[in-house]
Amino acid sequence: MTVTQSLRPGEQPASRDAGFLSILWRKLLYDTRLSSLAVLVVIFLLSLVPVLRLMATAIAPGGEVDLTAFASRLSSPAVIRATFNTLDTSFFGALLALVIGAPFAVALSMTDLPGRRTLGFLLLLPLMIAPQVMALSWLHLFGPSSTLLGAFNLSPRPGTVNPLLGRNGIILLYAIQHAPIIFITLRAGLMRVPRDLVEAARSSGSSPLRVLLTIILPMVRPYIVAATALAFVSGVGNFGIPALLGMPVNYLTLTTLIYQRISSFGPSVLPQVAALSVLIAILALLGVTLQALALRRAGHRFTVGTPARFTLGSWRLPLALLGWVAISFMLILPVLALVTTALIPSFGVPLNWATLTFSNFEEVLFRQASTNRAFRNSTMLAGGTALLLAFGAIPLAIGLERFSRLSQRLLHGMIELPYALPGIVLAIACILLFLRPLPMVGSLYATPWIILAAYLMRFFALAMKPVTAAIGQMSRDLDEAAAVSGAYPLRRMMTIIAPLAAPAAFAGALLVFMSAFNELTVSALLWSSGNETLGVVLFSLEEAGLGTQAAAIAVTTIVIVVGLLLLLDRLGRRLPAGVLPWR
């Protein structure tokens, strides 16, 4: 019996000696079910496998479910105290972030405040800058060795305890770090308030303040709840700030407790820290669920119209000045404190023309082997993660379009799971996954590959979001016309979809690179000798008392992040709406 193979338009007959990979590639191109299966496999490996492995170790460390042991690990006094500290600082930090971010959201999205775009850009910088860098800048601003305050004879007396150490400092830094989350989320809700409602209330004699309090804020209440929940979740998973502000005075949160136990006892305490990680994950997922429920209600409250706008009149300049004062206190002064600290030879030396030196920058950038290695490792790991995710995001986003709307929502939720979970939870999951040797490749533990794998899982959602938005806004006419003309799927993807989605993929790659370049939460538990990252080296230098060198690293990373953000801003016109929240 003779078997003939039917060819799709544009498909060439396969040669008899075609290899297995060639045949598999063709099947992925033409078989919709197989390509959909490939998308599911990628999402399963990057999103669900680490979570399932973590749950298995926490609940069934010996292969059998043991909830009694799980509960006992979470009921020790140290864990209860760390849990209370985590909830306390995260809750009040989120409330203070709401106090800071909400006025900015109203002023920058609903008024004619001058310099709105610049203020929005600067307000978002604390979110883009690593938490440990923000904590370091504030420590150097208000510490007894503050170079900036010392130049004006305002620094505390020598021997004075830094006022930022402990609970209050953590809450303040959480608020500043997470105020941009409040701003981004609440701004999205305020932009949906129709102008007609505001104009009707104004024509009835209501003052702008009364309209804001009685109409606008009640309408965006779900966004307020969602924003506060997201800020709370970010506080639960934050490691850099409590590590620098809490650990020196033994004020431990769940993330720093995990770090201390792993650092002290190594892999032998993995079942214990897995249980703690599950506890953190539960707290984070509760916050994410609250955020999702709040935004789900928001979609039914009103329809999108022309955004409302208030005219400030004579209040424009005073309110703009107030905004710049707030930005100066939250961002500019701490960064200046870092810069001045990096320009002196050692702590306690006043900054003047005679003592000004660039030796700290020379040391960390050119002389010191560990910092040179850290810059190289962070650049390669962040760059490799960005490239892999940028190239993979387009075909994955195309594959997701083949699923139903309900399936797409479920799959997007799975993709965002590793990013929603605290980084230290993902790090523990990766240790559990890669501690034992894998077939053909061996163990990835104590190698740079485990950090790369963790970064791919962590920032998968960050790369997918702009690409998914871009492909979702594309017209299907061009793709359908090319298919009718005989172009096979790969050709259509390379010549039609990829060029149109390339700016979004590039923007996603830059966001991934910025996030991974100087992160600490994931790599703090995964680094090994020779595989240090910038976040780890900065933390180690500060712990070792080499604060001027740590400040030089921090200033360098801030310059790189700001440069990349400016590059993203230049691309803003070619990106889907909402990718850059300050535009």
Rounded Cα distance, 464 and 479, in Å: 21
What pLDDT score was predicted for residue 1?
Answer: 38
Shared domain check, 42 and 144: no
In a domain, 441, yes or no: yes
Quote the strand ranges of 48-174, DSSP E.
none
Q: What is the CATH number of the domain that holds 491?
A: 1.10.3720.10
Residue 21 has pLDDT above 80, yes or no: no
Rounded Cα distance, 413 and 158, in Å: 51
Domain boundary residue, one of 284, 304, 324: 304
Q: Which domain holds residue 474?
A: 36-57+369-578
Rounded Cα distance, 364 and 29, in Å: 48
Q: How large is the average pLDDT for residues 9-16?
A: 46
Residue corresponding to tokens 């889907």: 576
Are 127 and 181 contacting, i.e. CB atoms less than 8 angstroms apart? yes
Rounded Cα distance, 550 and 555, in Å: 9
Residue 159 has pLDDT above 80, yes or no: no
> pLDDT band for position 470 (50/70/90)?
confident
Q: What is the DSSP string of 520-538?
A: -TTHHHH--TT---HHHHH
Q: How large is the average pLDDT for residues 144-172?
A: 86
Which amino acid belongs to residue 349? Answer: V
Domain count, the chain: 2
What pLDDT score was predicted for residue 235?
Answer: 92
Are 58 and 278 contacting, i.e. CB atoms less than 8 angstroms apart? yes
In a domain, 543, yes or no: yes
In a domain, 349, yes or no: no
Shared domain check, 91 and 47: no
Residue 18 has pLDDT above 50, yes or no: no
Rounded Cα distance, 452 and 467, in Å: 21
Shared domain check, 509 and 479: yes
Tokens of 182: 């409040």
Are 308 and 198 contacting, i.e. CB atoms less than 8 angstroms apart? yes
Q: What is the DSSP letter of 276?
A: H
Which amino acid belongs to residue 59? Answer: I
| Count of alpha carbons within 13 angstroms of residue 90, beta-carbon side | 26
Q: How large is the average pLDDT for residues 286-296?
A: 78
Shared domain check, 414 and 277: no
Lowest-confidence segment of 19-28, 95-104, 490-499, 529-538 by average pLDDT:
19-28
What pLDDT score was predicted for residue 324?
Answer: 94
In a domain, 259, yes or no: yes
> pLDDT band for position 14 (50/70/90)?
very low
Torsion over CA of 147, 124, 131 and 514, rounded to 10 degrees? -110
In a domain, 13, yes or no: no
In a domain, 124, yes or no: yes
- Return the SS3 of 44: helix
The predicted-structure confidence for 387-403, as pLDDT tens digits, reads as follows 999 988 888 888 888 78
The predicted-structure confidence for 222-273, as pLDDT tens digits, reads as follows 888 888 988 998 899 899 999 999 999 999 999 999 998 888 877 778 888 8
Region of 202 please: left (phi>0), alpha (psi -120 to 50) or beta: alpha
Tokens of 38: 């490939």
Region of 7 please: left (phi>0), alpha (psi -120 to 50) or beta: beta
Are 334 and 138 contacting, i.e. CB atoms less than 8 angstroms apart? yes
Shared domain check, 95 and 41: no
Are 515 and 564 contacting, i.e. CB atoms less than 8 angstroms apart? no
82 CB-near residues (< 8 Å, 6+ apart): 252, 253, 254, 256, 257
Shared domain check, 554 and 472: yes
Nearest to 107 by CA among 333, 306, 321: 321
Rounded Cα distance, 141 and 147, in Å: 8
Shared domain check, 466 and 384: yes
Residue 25 has pLDDT above 60, yes or no: no
Nearest to 55 by CA among 317, 364, 279: 279
Shared domain check, 428 and 542: yes
Nearest to 581 by CA among 203, 245, 123: 123
Question: Mean pLDDT across the chain, nearest whole number?
Answer: 83
Q: How large is the average pLDDT for residues 549-576?
A: 83
Q: How large is the average pLDDT for residues 545-570?
A: 87
In a domain, 238, yes or no: yes
Does 471 or 339 have the greater pLDDT score? Answer: 339
What's the Cα-to-Cα distance from 176 to each of 88, 172, 182, 329, 370, rounded to whole Å? 16, 6, 10, 10, 31
300 CB-near residues (< 8 Å, 6+ apart): none
The predicted-structure confidence for 555-567, as pLDDT tens digits, reads as follows 999 898 888 888 8
Shared domain check, 461 and 404: yes
**Please, what is the Cα angle at 429 between 74 and 84, to 5 degrees?**
30
Are 123 and 324 contacting, i.e. CB atoms less than 8 angstroms apart? no
Q: How large is the average pLDDT for residues 116-121?
A: 87
The predicted-structure confidence for 167-195, as pLDDT tens digits, reads as follows 999 999 999 999 998 998 888 888 877 77
Shared domain check, 215 and 153: yes
Cα 148 off chain centre by = 30
Residue corresponding to tokens 């810059």: 375
Cα 293 off chain centre by = 21
In a domain, 181, yes or no: yes
What pLDDT score was predicted for residue 96?
Answer: 96
Lowest-confidence segment of 63-77, 132-146, 481-495 by average pLDDT:
481-495
- Return the SS3 of 52: helix
Domain boundary residue, one of 304, 322, 344: 304
Does 73 or 247 have the greater pLDDT score? Answer: 247
Shared domain check, 140 and 51: no
Residue 454 has pLDDT above 90, yes or no: yes
Rounded Cα distance, 246 and 252, in Å: 6
> pLDDT band for position 216 (50/70/90)?
confident
The percentage of residues in the chain with a pLDDT greater than 70, rounded to a whole number, is 87
What pLDDT score was predicted for residue 109?
Answer: 85
- Return the SS3 of 438: strand
Residue 408 has pLDDT above 70, yes or no: yes
Domain boundary residue, one of 304, 337, 356: 304
Are 580 and 569 contacting, i.e. CB atoms less than 8 angstroms apart? yes
Q: How large is the average pLDDT for residues 94-106?
A: 93
Are 96 and 174 contacting, i.e. CB atoms less than 8 angstroms apart? yes
Are 139 and 161 contacting, i.e. CB atoms less than 8 angstroms apart? no
Shared domain check, 299 and 169: yes
Rounded Cα distance, 551 and 80, in Å: 34
Does 252 or 346 have the greater pLDDT score? Answer: 252
Lowest-confidence segment of 170-184, 386-400, 405-419, 567-581 by average pLDDT:
567-581
Rounded Cα distance, 393 and 504, in Å: 10
pTM for the complete prediction? 0.84
